[in-house]
Structure 1
Amino acid sequence: MSTMTFSHTDNNAGLITLSQIRLKADGLMLSLTWLLWLIALGVGWHHHNLSLALVAGGALTGLATVIKTLFAGRLITRLWFAFTLMGFAALLIQLGHGETEYHFSVFVLLSALLAWRDWRPLLMGATAAAVHHALFNYLQENDLFGIVCFTHPGFHMVVFHALFVVAQTAVLMVMAVRMAQDARSASEVARLASVINREPGCLTLAVNDAARYSPFARTFSTTLDTMRDTLTRVSAGVNALLAASDTLLERNAGLSARTDEQAQALAVVTCAIEQIAAGATLNSEQAHTARQQAIQASSVAQQGGAHIDAATACMAQIRDDAQRVNGILALIDGIAFQTNILSLNASVEAARAGEQGKGFAVVASEVRTLAQRCEFAAKDIRELIAVSVARADDGSARVEQAGATMREMIASIDSLRRFIEDLSQMSEQQRSSIGDMRNSITSIDESVQQNAHHVAQTLNMAQHQQQQTRALQQAITLFRFA
């Protein structure tokens, strides 16, 4: 709505003011004067005094016409017409020979003076009537100029009629003042209304600087001022509310877009979390399988270590047995050596015995041969035993190395098993954490969906509020403030 500026524009076309009312009353009284002349002519004809009706009525009517033409709308015209009407009342009383019925014309014509809504013509008329009654009663009592006022003249009749005239005049003057006030108030209100309705289809509440004398007009003007101020504030408030509504719509639209983007991003995150949860579950299952396999491998390695330890013990036993065999071979070598020496001694003794000792010499030679063969066999066995002992020592060393390697393998497998157990526990914790995260994301997604629904409702309410505000603004456009 445009900025409200207040100004006053006179637009009195078609207004009925007190001056216009009095101008129309002038015309009405002139018409009444001509009518009274016709009535006077009728009464004069009826009472065989047409000439008086013609001359006196014509004079009153002619003078009234001239005064109305020259001084229309002025106080002199109203006062003259008041005098003229009372003159016609006196003429009718004269023509009717003072009959009481013709005295009623005074009261009727005094009432007609209310048409001007002015107490001064009423006072003029009452004064003229009083002067007429007093003067004509005096002339009638003294039988001067053929004047007639009452059927039974007397000062008491003058006073009696004067009381009625004064009472009616007082009432009519009060009515005239009230009617003038009402007319003035109506004129001022009509002037205000003309400003309000100066533009077809709209109500203009512009400031009107015209003087306002009537209480109703002042009250009406104050009401219009209050209404104008109130509607001005309402218009400003509607404009501010409309601007706030536009801002609210814009912000809600942005919030709705961001909420939709968050919902979409959250959906992507939820999908990724589901994939991670599936991967974590698979990793946990694989870690559990690896843990079982590591436990089995550790058990097999421990069994292999036990076998290697047993093989090492066997190799040690073989080496000990080889040592014992070497001792036995040393004993055999000693026996063979002693046998050989004994055989040599026997051969020497046989040679000393000569022929008797030949047989014994042969036996001694055979024994020496057997001792030598035993010595050679023990030597071969010793060499074989030495080789076997060397190989047993080498095998024992290798078995010891294999045992050390197996123990290291067992330690490594045990370390791997513990690592896999830790990894399995971490996988379980990770899967649990991912489950908690998924539940949290689900809760966040529900909150985002609720926020999106709330934002949509708020947007609809903001749009409805904007429509209502625009409707109110459209309703206020009916009023004009300048």
Structure 2
Amino acid sequence: MLTTESAVLDRLRSRAARFMVLFLWLHVPLSAFVSASLATGAWTGPVAIAALASIATLDWMRRKTGYGPQITIATSLALIVGFLVFQLRGHAWQIDVHMYFFAAFATVAVFCDWRPLIGYAGTVAGHHLLLNVLIPQAVFPGEGDLARVLMHAVVLAVQTAALIWLAQHLRKAFSESADAIEAVHLAQAEGERLAGEQRQTAAREAETSMRHAALQERVVREISAGLERLAMGDLTTPIDSSPQDPFPAEYDMLRQSFNRVTLQLGQVFEQIMSVAGSVRAGSDEIDQAAQHLAVRAETQAATLEESAAALQQMTSSVRSSAARAFEAQEAGRENSTCARAGTLVVQDAINAMQEIERSATQVTQIIDVIEAIAFQTNLLAINAGIEAARAGDAGRGFAVVASEVRGLAQRASTSAKDIRGLISESTAHVQAGSALVGRTGQSLEDILRIALNVQGVMDDLSAAAREQAIGLEEINSGVTLLDQVTQHNAAVAEQTTATAGTLRQHSNELVAILGQFQLPDGSRDSANFGSRPSGPYASRRSTMPQSPISAA
């Protein structure tokens, strides 16, 4: 509907544009007549009007339709009227010609668009305002009159609003009439189409019903025969469509789907037979490998059992060695304790010998004092004997006493010398004994140091023996667990052997079942399931297809 409206308005505006261009050129002789009537001899007005008409004509010829030529024509018309008013400056009719602005403005409404109206009104307003200031006599007689310009502007604005309203309503009316015409055309076309379809439908229905009945009968017959062949295991015969008697085109997709299903089933069965052959060959390999694995598992289990027994004996021996090392460690500790006690006793003996040596030294000092006293006493006794001899008979008794005292002093001196000798000999023996005790203490210290070293070595040996015993116990536990795992593996190997035999039996049954199907291109003969492996370590040959099934 919008396309119809646009076409109607475009035709109207095209005709209006041709009329307005002609209308513009009619002002050239009108301007020439005015110039000639006024006898001014100035042809500026006709030339300017011709120039404006030429500009509008060229723009219309270049673009034909659109808002641009319409606005150019409207602006040129407003300027042409302005030149007519300018030509009549000073004439009595100048003020009356202003009415022509509004009359010409009404002709612009033939475009049924507000844009040329705005262009014309803007040009007139600019013309009045500008010339009223620059060349007042070109607009109104005499001096410029802004109040008159404003009054004309108000009238122009009212006329512009009225013409825009009229143009929009004309455009809406054209749109509604175009919609109505379009609806009538569509209804007429639809009625003709429905009548033709009804006539054709009545003729086609009879023919179609008979043709469909025949086609459906053949389709059912062909599909039923194909399904019967498929039920009997025949995957080699598709449903044909020969050029002489082609399959019904309406149901050819059904035929192609049935053929694709048959072909894909054949390929699937080929793959299943190939896989069955691979499974049977693999089951033979698994059977042989399981048998060898069972034999090796039994041998390994026996070897591990012997190793576990030997390791158990070694563990017992190491445990006994660890116990003896602990006993030796305890004995070394007792030896160290005794050596340390002997060292203390010897140290006490050394201290006692040193005390004896100090006491002997003190006794020697005392004997020295006694000898000195004996020597003084002897001197005193000699002096007393001399004095008694001088006294004669009166000092005879005193002389006897002095003689006895001197004898006692001599004996005391002799005894002191004897004691000194004994003390000196005893001191020599004490010093020798002290030296021997010192050497004994040094020997005991060496013995204690060696005993401590031996005790450290025994501690290390005891710790190492304990660690060896713990390590051997862990190894013994690991070997025991490994023996259990090996026994389990042997049982699993026997179970695997039985499973491989069952798998081989099932693969043979699967091959026998697949042998009931007829496969295209002798595929059943080509699936010989491969050759059996020559040994337990023969590599498996995969017969699985590497590409997806392609639909024929």
- TM-score tier, shorter chain, comes to 0.3 to 0.5
- TM-score of the pair, normalised by structure 2: 0.41
